[in-house]
Amino acid sequence: MAHTKLYIPGPVEVNERTWKAFTSPMIGHRSEDFRKLYAEIQPMLRQVLNTGRPVFISTSSAWGVMEGAVRNLTARKVLNCMAGAFSDKWLDVSKRCGREAEALQVEWGSPILPDMIDGKLATGEFDALTLVHNETSTGTLMPLEEIAELKKKYPDVMFIVDTVSSLSAMNIDFDALGLDLLLAGCQKAFALPPGITFFATSQQAQDKAATINDRGYYFDICEFEKNAEKDMTPSTPSISHVYALRSKLQEFMEEGLENRYARHLRLAEKTRDWAAGHGFTLFPEAGYESVTLTCINNGQKEGGRVIDVPKLQGLMKERGFAIDGGYGKIKGKTFRISNMGDETDESMQKVYDALDESMALL
Ligand SMILES: *Cc1c(COP(=O)(O)O)cnc(C)c1O
C-alpha cells in the first residue's frame, strides 16, 4: 500500500536516516556500549534544552511523564492551566493520581496569561502548576517566558511545563526560565517514531520529590536521577529509540539549532499564508500562533469559509497526504496542518499544491 505522508500534528514523518538508526543491532541496557551511547546523547540533548542539568529519557509516551510529574511534585494542590484538549486533560489526570487539583480554564484558542496564574497562586493554596506551552489541539502558543517570570514570585511552586510539540522547533531555555520540570515527546517536532519522552528537572524538584512518598516507581524522578549518574535508565529503555535519538540529534547539530527554529517559523508562516489565501481565518488568537502547526477555522469566525473537512481530508489522502480534521470538541470546525520535524520549503510546497487541487474539487 502506498504510504500516506503525515501532516497531522503527531506522529509526523520519520526519515530514512532515523529509521536506519532505529534498526541498529541490539545491545544490553547495562552494557558499556549502552552507557557510551547514553553519554554521547547527553550534551546534544542539553543543548536543545539549554541546560546544564541531566536530561532523562523515559520509555513511554508523554502522558507517562505528565502523570509522573504531578505525582512527584504535588504534595498539596496543583493548578492545571487549561486552554485545549491536552492541557484540559491534565486536570483529570492529576485527580486520577489522587491529587487535589484546580482548573484555570480559558477558552480554547486563547492564551493563558501571567496575571491569571498570579491571581490563583496568590491564594497560597498551590505547590505546583501544569502548563502546556504549545497546545497542539488548538495551535496556540502560550507566553512561556512571561509565565515563567512568576517562579521568582512563587519560588516554592513547582512549574511543570509540557513542550511536547514545541521543543526543538523553537528556542526553549530551561535554565534561564527557571522551570522545575520540562518534558517533550519524541513523535512531534523531533520526528522520531512514538515511544520515548525526554525531561529535565531542577535540583529543587529533585529535592522535593525525595520528600513525597507515593511517587510510584516507573516515573520516579529520584530513580531517573540515580541511574542517569551512571548513564543509564531505571528500567530497560527502548534502545532502538535511543539509537534513533542520537541520529536525530546529530541531524539537529548539522542543520544548526537556529536554522531549525527559523525553518519551523518560516514554514508555519507559509501555511498561515496558504489559509489566508483561501479565505480562512486561524483558530488561535492573533499573536499566539504555534510555529509547528496551523489550526484553521472552518467558517467559525466571521467571514470564514465553510468547507467539508472530511472530504478535503479524503481528497488529500488520494494525493498521498494526511491532514488532521480537528481535535475533540473543535473537530470539523477546524482542521490542522503540521509543519513540524524535517519538513522543508519544497516538501511543504507539495502539500500546498495538493491542498489547492483538493480545494478546487470541493
Ligand atoms: C501529543 C501531545 C501530548 C500527548 O502525547 P502522548 O505521546 O500521546 O502521550 C501531550 N501534550 C501535547 C501538547 C501534545 O501535543
C-alpha cell of residue 151: 517562579
Show the beta-strand stretches assigned E in the chain: 5-6, 55-58, 77-82, 100-105, 128-132, 134-135, 140-141, 158-162, 181-185, 197-201, 293-297, 321-322, 334-338
> What is the reported pLDDT for 304?
74
> What is the reported pLDDT for 2?
85
The 10s digit of each residue's pLDDT in 314-335 is 999 999 999 999 999 999 999 9
Mean pLDDT for the chain overall: 97
Q: How many whole angstroms separate alpha carbon 58 and alpha carbon 56?
A: 7
What separation in Å is there between the alpha carbon of 314 and the centre of ligand 1? 25
What separation in Å is there between the alpha carbon of 185 and the centre of ligand 1? 7
The residue type of 2 is: A
Q: Which residue has the cell 484538549?
A: 85
Helix 257-277, helix 239-255: angle, nearest 10: 90
Cβ-based neighbour number of residue 29 at 10 Å:
18
Q: Is the pLDDT of residue 222 over 70?
A: yes
The 10s digit of each residue's pLDDT in 288-305 is 999 999 999 998 666 678
- If phi > 0 it is left, if psi is from -120 to 50 it is alpha, else beta; for residue 287 that is left
What separation in Å is there between the alpha carbon of 160 and the centre of ligand 1? 14
Q: How many whole angstroms separate alpha carbon 299 and alpha carbon 322?
A: 21
Picking from 24-28, 244-248, 305-309, 337-341, which range would have the lowest pLDDT averaged per residue? 305-309
Q: How many whole angstroms separate alpha carbon 281 and alpha carbon 300?
A: 9
- Environment class of 118 (CB within 10 Å of its CB; exposed 0-12, middle 13-18, buried 19+): middle
The answer to whether residues 210 and 3 touch, using CB atoms and an 8 Å cutoff, is no
Picking from 79-88, 235-244, 293-302, which range would have the lowest pLDDT averaged per residue? 293-302
Residue bearing the CA closest to ligand 1, atom 12? 164
Q: What is the DSSP letter of 327?
A: -
Cβ-based neighbour number of residue 340 at 10 Å:
28
**Mean pLDDT throughout 250-273?**
98
Show the beta-strand stretches assigned E in 150-231: 158-162, 181-185, 197-201
Q: How many whole angstroms separate alpha carbon 135 and alpha carbon 221?
A: 25
Residue bearing the CA closest to ligand 1, atom 2? 164
What separation in Å is there between the alpha carbon of 164 and the centre of ligand 1? 6
Q: Which residue has the cell 557510551?
A: 36
Q: Is 132 in the pocket of ligand 1 (CB under 6 A)?
A: yes
**Mean pLDDT throughout 227-255?**
98
Q: Which atom of ligand 1 is nearest to the CA of 197?
A: 7
**Mean pLDDT throughout 323-351?**
97
Residue among 164, 172, 238 to mutate when testing ligand 1 (max atoms within 8 A of CB) = 164
The residue type of 129 is: L
Q: How many whole angstroms separate alpha carbon 293 and alpha carbon 323?
A: 11
Q: Is 165 in the pocket of ligand 1 (CB under 6 A)?
A: yes
What separation in Å is there between the alpha carbon of 232 and the centre of ligand 1? 25
Q: How many whole angstroms separate alpha carbon 322 and alpha carbon 361?
A: 17
What separation in Å is there between the alpha carbon of 361 and the centre of ligand 1? 33
The answer to whether residues 87 and 131 touch, using CB atoms and an 8 Å cutoff, is yes
State the number of CA atoms in the 13 A half-sphere of 63 facing the CB.
13
Q: Residue 58: phi, psi to the nearest 5? A: -105, 130
Ordered domains of the chain (ranges, CATH): 5-12+257-359 (3.90.1150.10), 16-253 (3.40.640.10)
**Mean pLDDT throughout 58-66?**
98
